[in-house]
A and B are shown apart, each in its own frame.
Chain A
Amino acid sequence: MSIMKFAKSHEWARVDNDTAVIGITDYAQAQLGDIVFIELPKAGDSLKQSSQLGTVESTKAASELYLPLGGKVIEVNEDLINNPQWINESPQERGWMIKIKIENPAELDGLMDEVSYKEFIDKEAHT
C-alpha cells in the first residue's frame, strides 16, 4: 500500500516502502499554466531533501522544483521530456517525474498528508 505525502512547495511523493515516486500537484500545475519544458535529474543522481529536483517552464515562467525527500534517483520519466503537457493533464499519474530510493524515512514526518495539504492550499489561495 502506497501513501501520498505533500510538500509546502507543492510536490507530491507516492511512498511505497523505501521508494517514492515524485511529481508536482494539481494545484501547482494549475498555477503554472501550460507547461512546455521540463528538465529532470538523471538516474543514479543522489539528491538531498529540498535540493533542486528540476525546472519546469510554462508559457508564463520558469520555476524550480524541489525534492520533498532525499534519496537516489532510480528511475526518470523520460517520456515526460517530450510530453511536458502530461503534467497539466495528469499531474499525479502520467505526469510523474522521478522515482527515488528514500535515504532517510524520518523526512516523511515533515510532509503533509492529503487532508492537511488541502487545508494548506485553501489557506494559500485566500491570502
Chain B
Amino acid sequence: MEPKKTPLHQKHIQEKGRIIDFAGWLLPVEYRSMLSEAKAARISCGIFDASHMGELLVKGPRAVDFLQKLTSNDISSLAFGRMQYNLLLNEDAGIIDDLMVYRKEKDLLCVVNASNKDKALAWLMKNSSTGIVIEDVSSKTALISLQGPTAHNIIREVFGRDFEELRYMFFLERKIEGRDILVSRSGYTAEDGFEIYTDWDEAGLWWDKFVSAGKKYGLTFCGLGARDILRIEAGYPLYGHEIDEEINPYEASLGWAVKLERKFMARDKLLKIREKELKRKRVGFIMQSRALVRQGYPVYSGASKIGEVTSGTYSPNLERFIGMAYVGKDYARIGTKISVEVRGKHYEAEIAKFSFIGPKTKKNSFKEAA
C-alpha cells in the first residue's frame, strides 16, 4: 500500500526532514539531529507533526457506558473538558491499544495509535450496540504537538490566554478566526506541552503560525526520533514495544490505569491475574557504561537470562544510555543490577525508576478542591 502523507508533508520536505515510512505514514525521523531535537523539547520547545494518529469519535447517549465496558480506567467521573489515559483491552486483558479519551460535551474523542487505528475501530464496532455511533475522523483531523517549557508562550500568542491557562489533561474547543480547533495541555514527553487538533486542510496554516510565533521561543522542528527518545526518557510505553495483546496492564506497570472497583469486560480476568504472581514486569534501566541497547536484546542477571529489552536509546538530556525491558518479577526492584547483551558482550545496567526525567507536567495539574 502506498504510504500516506500528512497535511504537513510539504513542510517537512521544505525543512529537509529525513522522511521514513512509519506505520504506513511518511514522516520525518529527524530534521538535522534527533539528539539536539530531543534536547530542544526540554530546554525550549519542540514542534511535532502527529497527524498520523487515529481519532475516533464515540457518540450516542450511552457512549460513556459503552467505552467503559471495553477499557480499564474510569471515564464516568471525568468532567467535560478533561481527558484521561486509558487502555483498550480484549477479553483476556491483553492490550489492544493505549489511548487518550477526551470527554467532550456530546461525544468521546479517542486518540489511538496510527498502527492500531483499524484494529481499535474494528474492536469498538464489534462490541457496539444500538444507539452507539463510532465515527473515524482520522483523515479529517490533523494533530500538531508543541512540547517544552516555552510552549505556553506560543500557545498564548497564537490562541490567547484561555488556552495558555489550561491545566494539565484539560482541553478547550473553540472556533478561532472561523476555524475549529481543540487544544489540550498534554503530550508524550512528560514535558509541559500542548496538543492541537485542527482540520486536516488547515494544519499548514496553524503550523506556520506556531513556527512564526515560536521564533523568539526557540521553537525546533522535531521528528519521530526525538519523539521516541522523549517518551523513553518519560518512561511511557509504546505499542509494539512495551505493550501488545499478549501483555496485561499489570505486567506493563500500568496498574494505575486499571479501576477494578467498576465492572468492565476484562475485569474478571484481571482479578484472576492479580491473584497469581506476575511472570514479568516492565522496568526501566540505566546502562552503567556506553552501550546503546535495542528491542530484543537479552537481559541477564549473572549468567541467567531474565528478560528482554523493549526500547533503548541514548538520552541526550540525561547523557546516559537508558532503556525499558520486561524482566522476571524478582528482578524488577529499583537498584537491581542486571546486564544487557550487546553484540555478544555484556554491559552492566541498573533498574531505575520511570520516568527517567522528573515530569514537568505536575505543576500545571488541577488541584481538586478539598
Query: Interface on A for B, CB 8 Å cutoff?
Result: 33-34, 36-37, 55, 57, 59-60, 62, 81-82, 84-85, 88
Interface contact B35-A37, CB-CB below 8 Å: no
Q: B20 → chain A, closest Cβ, in Å?
A: 9
Q: What residues of B have a CB within 8 angstroms of the CB of A84 in the complex?
A: 290
Contact B29 A37 (CB under 8 A): no
Given B33, B292, B314, which contacts A88 in the complex, CB threshold below 8 Å?
B33
Flag if A36 contacts B314 (CB, 8 Å).
yes
A60 with B225: CB separation less than 8 A: yes
**How many A-B Cβ pairs are below 8 Å?**
37
Which residues from chain B contact A55 at a C-beta distance below 8 Å?
343
Near A by CB (< 8 A), chain B positions 76-116 give none
Within 8 A of A (CB), among B34-73: 34-36
A contacts with B: majority SS: mixed
Closest Cβ of chain A to B289, distance in Å, is 10
Do residues A81 and B343 form an inter-chain contact, with CB atoms below 8 A? no
Complex Cα distance, B314 from A82, in Å, reads: 13
In the complex, the answer to whether A59 meets B343 with C-beta atoms within 8 Å is no
Closest to B36 in A: A34
Instruction: Mark interface residues in B324-356 (1 if CB within 8 Å of A CB, else 0).
Output: 000000000000000000010000000000000
Residue from A36, A62, A84 whose CB has the most chain B CB atoms within 10 Å: A36
Which listed residue, A33, A81, A82, touches B33 by the CB 8 Å rule? Answer: A33
Range, interface on chain B? 10 to 19
Chain A residue at minimum C-beta to C-beta distance from B18: A33
Whether A36 and B292, one on each chain, are in contact in the complex, defined by CB atoms closer than 8 angstroms, is yes
Interface string of B284-325 (1 = CB under 8 A from A): 000000111000000000000000000001100000010000
- Which residues from chain A contact B343 at a C-beta distance below 8 Å? 55, 62
What would 5 more interface pairs be, CB under 8 Å, given A34-B35, A37-B290? A34-B34, A34-B36, A36-B292, A37-B291, A59-B313
A residues in contact with B35, CB < 8 Å? 34, 36, 59, 85
A111 to B: closest C-beta gap in Å: 28
Q: Which of A59, A82, A85 is close to B225, meaning CB atoms less than 8 Å apart?
A: A59
Q: Which residues of B contact A34 (CB under 8 A)?
A: 33-36, 314
